[in-house]
Structure 1
Amino acid sequence: MQLATLEIEKVAAILKLLGDKTRLTMVKMLATNNYCVCEFVEIFKVSQPAISQHVRKLKDLGIITETRKGQWIIYSLNKDSENYPLITDLLQHLPNQDYKLQELEEQGLRISCD
């Protein structure tokens, strides 16, 4: 019985975290592309510290992961997480957010880490 309670607590924590529109949108975006914090700053038009807080919370629960590429830290959806199936199930009900990346590219603000 205790194990089921822990699972419910984990799911509740994830749902609470994803209850924030910005974080939910970020996770949906990360399902199809990898992003740098500075790209999220441009997309969401909020400060870098605010985006970093969102990223930290998502990382702390293991929803996203980071990879260093030169001076950049690139974030992606953590496909190795035990919560990945839950996350992808939730995301399939949300509209595609790829247009945000296209807008960023059209503005010349997409970060090239190559």
Structure 2
Amino acid sequence: MLKTTIDMDRAAVVLKLLGDRTRLTMMKILENNDCCVCEFVEIFEASQPSISQHIRKLRDIGLVKEERRGQWIFYSINTENEYYPFVQHVLAQLPSQDHKLKELEEKGTRISCC
């Protein structure tokens, strides 16, 4: 059964995390795609430690899950998270970010780690 409301304090925590443009964009990208850190490094032109820190914050509250594929770890939205319906409503209001991955594909760096 889907929870229709969430605790105000938890909503504030989730919204604070999503209030960061990088994390919000990551979540929108992950809405339709699994990605590894190296792809986010390319997309945001940021350091690997910086991107890993953003991912860790999302993973720590359960919004993002990871899956090991060989030596690489891929991230995706955790649709089983109790706050996913809330996050899904937020993400539905945003424009697609899939073009960022398409740009990586065109440059030949879509999955540069693999």
State the TM-score, normalized to the length of structure 1. Answer: 0.92
Contact 2:65–2:76 at 8 Å: present in 1 too? Answer: yes
In structure 2, runs of 5+ residues without a counterpart are: 1-5
The alignment covers a number of residue pairs equal to: 109
1:46 corresponds to which residue? 46
1:17 corresponds to which residue? 17
- 1:68-83 alignment runs, 5 A limit: 68-83=68-83
Contact 1:29–1:97 at 8 Å: present in 2 too? Answer: yes
2:34 corresponds to which residue? 34
In structure 1, runs of 5+ residues without a counterpart are: 1-5
1:101 corresponds to which residue? 101
Query: What RMSD over aligned residues (CA atoms) do the two structures have, in Å?
Result: 1.5
Does the residue aligned with 1:111 lie in a helix, a strand or coil? coil
Deviation at 1:110, TM superposition (A): 1.1
Contact 2:39–2:112 at 8 Å: present in 1 too? Answer: no
Distance in 2 of aligned mates of 1:87 and 1:65: 14
